[in-house]
Structure 1
């Protein structure tokens, strides 16, 4: 069965997701569909405009790069990207949180108004993206402390280990645990112990720097990975964290059983041939801190 031109146009107009014909120069040559008004506004006013006139330079350049890639390769490209109200020029009221789209970009085998062009089908995937982010968060995060979990720490440690050997930038690791935590659980019960773990997690989040990664390593054991940080710098940061945790624990209305942490630090070294060695050195520093009376940060080389 052959469709008439009128029927074909009606089918294209009824598409739930919007489909844009975009030229090599970034012109919105035509728009079809977008009838699902739960997710899309009428975009017909864009026809005749250029991407650079609609989006901020950073976003406009990204869109132009995708168009150029597809026209050069001659192959379909699938991309995911966010758009927020702040990305649209002259838009006074728009969504503050980004809306996520999947773009399916096809090269057209004919020119449009004298230019090579692509068909860009945009699908709103915000709900899917949010679900993926939530699942990712749950898979990487310790539920009690709200810090990263052991698996995320080891993955990030391995990545930093590779970067250290490639670029020779310093990186250090702190491993610490709570002093007399078992006695606290025995005397006060596990709900109190859980509250202590929560407080330690909160202090870590408030204290560490943006590029650091804090994780609950297991039980009452924690670790903080500190990129771009020498051993001396790491000790200063770790001791500040120790003092803040002690202050927070002393403020709890609890028997004075578990009020401090002991920790060990280790710096990545050129002779290290695997990431586990850094953890082993930090553990030795932790044992040393315990043997020296607790409530302190040590490294294995201290006298």
Structure 2
């Protein structure tokens, strides 16, 4: 602990003002009692105009209520409360279209003060801009979940989504269908035209999926020339014309045909693997029956 007797009041005030990150004194009722620091102009604007205002004066109701709740949590804990949060132009009153288009992320370190301010309990709220690290985290997550050739979600992300939707089905009976398809005679494309031609076919097939499927559908590359499309809130009867249109568009636009198997989640399924197995069996029926077709199980 520093010996503050070594510093004059003016020096202490100067030290507080020089803090790179802004520090707010917030009372239990949500009033800004004081603002210190925030000198890192890359990330912060002058916050001195907040003094005397309340959270409700500055923020829209939902966000103001969230901040008020965090202050209450910190006061109840009588210690340090750490939170991550985002602020956008829709959260702050009076900014409108002048505010940043992207969300700005912060880490808030909220420490209870051992004395009252303006006759209320109060906290010290230090806000650090963590937008850059959040963007890097999102980029790394996306890269870990995206197939580099097709730019579709990879197997890992697919299994996560299948798990999520199977849990929804098991709990609420929310329907979902699954299509598995692969590219007909893909080995011949690789052997006859080279692996670059095979790569181009996979990429073109993925592009058709992005263009032709609905916004709610989830196409992914399972591996090799095999793809899976998860269709939430859709039973197999509803899904069949969607998959037929996809098959036709791939034939027209990707220079290759596909064979696929379609199935849906049913009451007897214990896991999404059973749905995949039925769809995979139907895929092999499509191949056996002459390819370039979708078979529904």
Q: Note whether the superposition's TM-score is higher than 0.5.
A: yes
Q: Is the 8 A contact 1:22 1:119 kept in 2?
A: yes
Matched, 1:194 2:202: no
Q: C-alpha displacement at 1:109, in angstroms?
A: 2.7
Spell out, residue by residue over 1:239-267, the C-alpha distance to the aligned partner (whole angstroms, 9 max, x if none).
222222222124xxxxxxxx211111111
In the other structure, the counterpart of 2:57 is 53
User: Per the alignment, do residues 178 and 126 of structure 1 end up closer, same or farther by CA in structure 2, a change over 3 Å counting?
Assistant: same
Distance verdict in 2 for CA 1:21–1:146, change over 3 Å: same
Instruction: Find the counterpart in structure 1 of residue 140 from structure 2.
Output: 135
Name segments (4+ residues, structure 1) moved above 6 Å: none
Q: Which of 70, 88, 112 does residue 74 from structure 2 map onto?
A: 70
Partners of 1:247 and 1:66 lie apart in 2 by 56
The equivalent residue for 1:280 is 277
Q: Post-superposition shift, 1:190?
A: 1.3
Query: Of the candidates 259, 263, 267, which is equivalent to residue 264 of structure 2?
Result: 267
Deviations along 1:170-202, whole A, 9 cap, x unmatched? 111111111111111112111121111111112
For the residues of structure 2 that align with 1:244 and 1:60, how far apart are their CA atoms? Answer: 49
Match of 1:44 among 48, 51, 57: 48
Query: What is the aligned partner in structure 2 of residue 235 from structure 1?
Result: 240
Q: Which consecutive residues of structure 2, in runs of 5 or more, have no partner in the other structure?
A: none
1:296 to 278, 283, 293: 293
Q: Could you state the TM-score of these two structures normalised by the residue count of structure 2?
A: 0.92
1:168 aligned onto 2:173:
yes
Give me the whole-angstrom Cα distance separating, in 2, the residues matched to 1:243 and 1:74.
64
Could you tell me whether the CA contact under 8 Å between 2:82 and 2:108 is conserved in 1?
yes
Matches of 1:51 and 1:204, distance apart in 2: 46
State the 1:75 CA deviation: 4.1
Match of 1:254 in 2: none
Q: Which residue of 2 aligns with 1:122?
A: 127
Q: What secondary structure, in the 3-state scheme, does the structure 2 residue paired with 1:62 have?
A: helix
Whole-Å Cα distance in 1 between the matches of residues 252 and 287 of structure 2? 19
Report the CA distance between 1:136 and its aligned residue: 0.2
What is the count of residue pairs matched by the alignment? 292
Could you state the TM-score of these two structures normalised by the residue count of structure 1?
Answer: 0.90
Q: Distance in 1 between matches of 2:216 and 2:80?
A: 36
Q: Secondary structure at the match of 1:295?
A: coil
Give yes or no for the alignment of 1:183 onto 2:188. yes
Compute the displacement of 1:271 (Å).
1.6
Among 4, 13, 29, the residue aligned to 2:17: 13
Superposed CA RMSD: 1.7
